[in-house]
Amino acid sequence: MTERFAVEMRGVVKRFDDTLALNGVDLAVPTGAVYGLLGPNGAGKTTSVKVLTTLIRPDAGMATIDGIDVVAQPDDVRRRIGLTGQYAAVDERLTARENLVYVGRLFHLGTTEARLRAGNLLDRFDLADSADRVVKGFSGGMRRRLDIAMSLIAHPSVLFLDEPTTGLDPRSRLGMWDVIEDLAADGTTVLLTTQYLEEADRLAEQIVVIDHGQVIAEGSPDELKTRTGGALLQVSIARAENREVALSVLAPMCSGRVEIRDDRTFEAPIVAGDRVVPSVIRALDDAGVDVLDVVVRRPSLDDVFLALTGHAASGEEEQS
């Protein structure tokens, strides 16, 4: 028998009218791992999550959670998963505590047990002060935290987070990243979808890149970044007459050809994370070149897509 995966998809196909949302998706997430499903709008991220969480039936292929088939035994699958979708799935007329107890009872925990777990989750997600306030007045970040807490009430073995930070302000996004990192540290298997390479990079140990309903690449964040040529170094110098000197200093330090943007600005790919910026500044300084600015641009989703597919990440609407 092969290794058992917490989440597995083999050749999953899903068609909506005349769009092929999933065109044979293969995915295998080992127990306890945090995987990131990365892709542009319309790539099939949400559709994959909906198949895995029993919300839609695949047209072909198989999908399992802890080895249990999502089509054949949906109720057994539902007992093992937590889902936090793109829209905070909370009842905003209820208080945070009531929302938690409510979902706990629908997991058939019993009222006492549901109350106990609700209390713990409110503390853990920093919602204790607002526990008995009606959710309607909550900020986007608070709603999202409550949403994740609701997904965790029955200790799921797999947690699905569909674009957990979309629509959040930068501060709430950072807060959400902390929450997800804590979950990962607890050993919960997490499959999260995102449009942001930065987010997948920070949270996921393994990234699966998906485009047009197919997996086009898979690897650790570092592996993917290496495949995309790493980061881009941008250097501006003070005087144009130092151009040739600067070029000769930079060339051996970069992983590709140095492009000249204008007389005083150069751009070159570098391998991310090898302390290239301090060495570049020092080397240019030693050569007597006045440096105005050194910027490292991390690869974006578009860079990844350009490198992997030869086309930019297109912005089609996600099918539901």
For the bound state, the minimum distance from the C-beta of residue 105 to other proteins, rounded and expressed in Å, comes to 5
Residue ranges that bind other proteins, judged by CB under 8 A: 50, 53-56, 75, 78-79, 81, 83, 85-94, 98, 102-103, 105-108, 134, 150-151, 320
What whole-number distance in Å separates Cα of residue 22 and Cα of residue 40? 14
- Spatial separation of the C-alpha atoms in residues 41 and 161, rounded to whole Å: 16
Closest residue by Cα to residue 206 from 228, 222, 227, 187:
222
Kindly tell me which of 54 and 242 has the beta carbon lying closer to other proteins.
54
Contacts of 259 (CB under 8 A, 6+ apart): 266, 267, 268
Q: How far is the CB of 37 from other proteins (least distance, A)?
A: 17
Side-chain-side CA neighbours of 218 within 13 Å: the count stands at 11
What are residue 134's DSSP bridge partners?
95
Of the two residues 98 and 222, which places its CB atom closer to other proteins in the complex? 98
Residue 135 beta carbon to other proteins: minimum distance, rounded to whole angstroms: 11
For other proteins, the closer of residues 58 and 299 by Cβ is: 58
C-beta closer to other proteins: residue 90 or 215: 90
State the Cα–Cα distance between residues 225 and 269, nearest whole angstrom. 11
The pairing of beta strand 158-162 with beta strand 265-270:
unpaired
From start to end of 31-84, where are the E strands? 34-38, 60-65, 68-69, 81-84
What minimum distance in Å lies between the beta carbon of 251 and other proteins? 53
CB of 196 to other proteins, least distance (A): 21
Q: Among residues 86 and 255, whose Cβ is nearest to other proteins?
A: 86
Q: How far is CA 177 from the centre of its chain?
A: 10
Helix, strand, or coil (residue 233): strand
- C-beta of 49 vs 258, nearer to other proteins: 49
Residues 6+ apart with CB under 8 A from 13: 20, 22, 23, 24, 58, 59, 60, 61
* Shortest Cβ 106–other proteins spacing (Å): 5
Owner of token pair 């600015």: 293
CB-wise, 134 or 277, nearer to other proteins? 134
Pair type for strands 60-65 and 206-211: unpaired
Q: Which residues of 103-134 are buried (b: 16+ CB within 10 A; e: fewer)?
A: bbeebebeeebbbebbeebbeebebeebbeee
Nearer to other proteins, 241 or 316 (CB): 316
